[in-house]
């Protein structure tokens, strides 16, 4: 059992469910059941399924030991640029007749911060303690470790991740207090588009979001923790005039819709009439009577003069007569 360690961790997990069923392609890569081609299938198990979801973006897992007759006995490797996890699935009691007969052995290589956060997310997503076995005697025999050793290894990584996130939230509190202490200085310097009252409101919003982040961490909800800190970051940026981001693009777009926010040059709105003192000689002037008196104009008047030559009438041919 290896928990908090500088280079790697070695943990054991109790499987509760055998599904979902997955496919293996010709390159021994794990694929979803909707994959069009597959050589064989395996049962991934609830713990390995949660592991892949918590891992983040990664390459398709590779089966270093594909399953044989027992579809729940396999070895898989999933990795990215900073962390590598090897998962070994096998039964430790009951000849593998039930889903709970299986365990997953995890060998995790990578930075301690990344490994601790990964285990924190894994435990939170499962909603149970993965180190608690279904059959204690056989569990201790298979893992060669006691229940306390399992608990300390898992708990050490979870505690380390929690401390790291608590420290991150504390840094936001320090930034908030330092920013509040500079408000008088900002008011004296007279930054454009910065208002003391609005800045105080933004700081209060940031303080509220930091408290929400701490509550999310207490509930082991790392995703909500990160979202709350992201909102706190946005509020602190808006309150700080030195960042030159006092309003969001959406707020600026709303201001443009207000008539009071538009600065209109009155000279541009003055009616301008272009007057020519004399028309060019090549322009034929239209007689006044033609240009103004149009009420009595008919279609025949418009056709007059277009063709002075008479148009021959079309001869009439009676087609009803027969020879």
The string of DSSP letters for 24-61 reads E-TTSBEE-TT-S--SEEEE--HHHHHHHHHH-S-PPP
DSSP 86: E
Structure tokens at 270: 């003055």
- pLDDT score, position 246: 45
Phi, psi of 7 (to 5 degrees): -120, -35
Structure tokens at 285: 């002037």
> Do 40 and 150 meet the contact criterion of CB atoms below 8 Å apart?
no
Q: Which of 214, 235, 233, 234 is nearest to 224 (CA)?
A: 214
pLDDT digits (tens, 9 = 90+) for 137-179: 999 999 999 999 999 999 999 999 999 999 999 999 999 999 9
- pLDDT score, position 266: 60
Structure tokens at 127: 């909603």
Instruction: Order across the sheet with 84-91: list the strands.
Output: 8-14, 102-109, 84-91, 74-79, 62-65
Nearest-5° angle of CA 142, CA 17, CA 161? 70
- Is 74 strand, coil or helix? strand
> Do 78 and 90 meet the contact criterion of CB atoms below 8 Å apart?
no
- pLDDT score, position 189: 81
Q: Which residue has the tokens 């010709």?
A: 26
88-106: string of b/e by CB count within 10 Å (b at 16+)?
A: bbbbbbeebeebbbbbbbb
pLDDT over 90 at 226, yes or no:
yes
* Range name among 2-11, 180-189, 303-312 with the lowest pLDDT average: 303-312
Indicate the average pLDDT of the chain.
Answer: 83
- Is 295 strand, coil or helix? coil
Greater model confidence, 96 or 111: 111
- Positive or negative torsion for Cα 49, 54, 60, 63: negative
> Do 18 and 43 meet the contact criterion of CB atoms below 8 Å apart?
yes
pLDDT over 90 at 79, yes or no:
yes
pLDDT digits (tens, 9 = 90+) for 278-319: 656 665 655 555 545 555 556 566 555 555 555 556 666 666
- Is 63 strand, coil or helix? strand
Question: Hey, what's the torsion of the CAs at 246, 248, 250, 255, to 10 degrees?
Answer: 10
Longest dimension (CA), the chain: 122
- pLDDT score, position 283: 56
> Do 208 and 200 meet the contact criterion of CB atoms below 8 Å apart?
no
Instruction: Report the share of the chain in percent with pLDDT over 90.
Output: 55
Greater model confidence, 257 or 14: 14
Where residue 257 falls (left for φ over 0; alpha for ψ -120 to 50; beta otherwise) is alpha
- Across the range 264-274, mean pLDDT stands at 58
What contacts 39, CB < 8 A, 6 or more positions away? 23, 24, 25, 26
Q: Which of 77, 99, 103, 78 is nearest to 89 (CA)?
A: 103
- pLDDT score, position 30: 93
Q: What is the spatial distance between Cα 172 and Cα 239, in angstroms, rounded to a whole number?
A: 14
* Range name among 219-223, 262-266, 317-321 with the lowest pLDDT average: 262-266
């Amino acid at each position: 059992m290896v928990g908090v360690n500088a280079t790697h961790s070695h943990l054991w997990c109790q499987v509760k469910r055998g599904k979902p069923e997955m496919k293996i392609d010709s390159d021994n890569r794990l694929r979803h059941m909707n994959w069009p081609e597959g050589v064989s299938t395996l049962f991934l198990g609830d713990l390995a399924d949660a592991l892949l979801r918590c891992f983040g973006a990664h390459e398709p897992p590779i089966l270093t030991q594909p399953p044989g007759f027992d579809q729940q006995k396999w070895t898989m490797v999933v990795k990215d640029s900073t962390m590598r996890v090897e998962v070994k699935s096998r039964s430790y009691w009951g000849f593998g007749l039930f889903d709970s007969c299986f365990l997953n052995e995890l060998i995790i290589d990578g930075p301690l911060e990344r490994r601790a956060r990964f285990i924190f997310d894994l435990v939170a997503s499962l909603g149970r303690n993965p180190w608690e076995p279904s059959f204690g005697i056989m569990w201790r025999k298979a893992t060669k470790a006691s229940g306390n050793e399992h608990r300390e290894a898992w708990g050490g990584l979870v505690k380390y991740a929690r401390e790291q996130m608590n420290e991150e939230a504390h840094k936001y509190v320090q930034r908030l207090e330092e920013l509040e202490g500079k408000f008088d200085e900002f008011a004296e310097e007279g930054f454009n588009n910065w208002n003391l009252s609005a800045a105080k409101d933004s700081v209060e919003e940031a303080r509220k979001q930091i408290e929400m982040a701490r509550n999310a961490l207490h509930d082991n909800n790392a995703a909500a923790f990160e979202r709350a800190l992201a909102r706190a970051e946005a509020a602190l940026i808006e309150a700080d005039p030195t960042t030159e981001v006092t309003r969001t693009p959406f707020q600026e777009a709303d201001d443009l819709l207000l008539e009071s926010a538009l600065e209109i040059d009155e000279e541009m709105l003055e009616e301008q009439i272009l007057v020519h003192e004399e028309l060019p000689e090549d322009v034929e002037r239209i007689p006044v009577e033609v240009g103004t008196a149009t009420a009595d104009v008919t279609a025949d008047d418009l056709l007059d003069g277009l063709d002075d030559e008479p148009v021959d009438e079309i001869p009439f041919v009676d087609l009803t007569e027969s020879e």
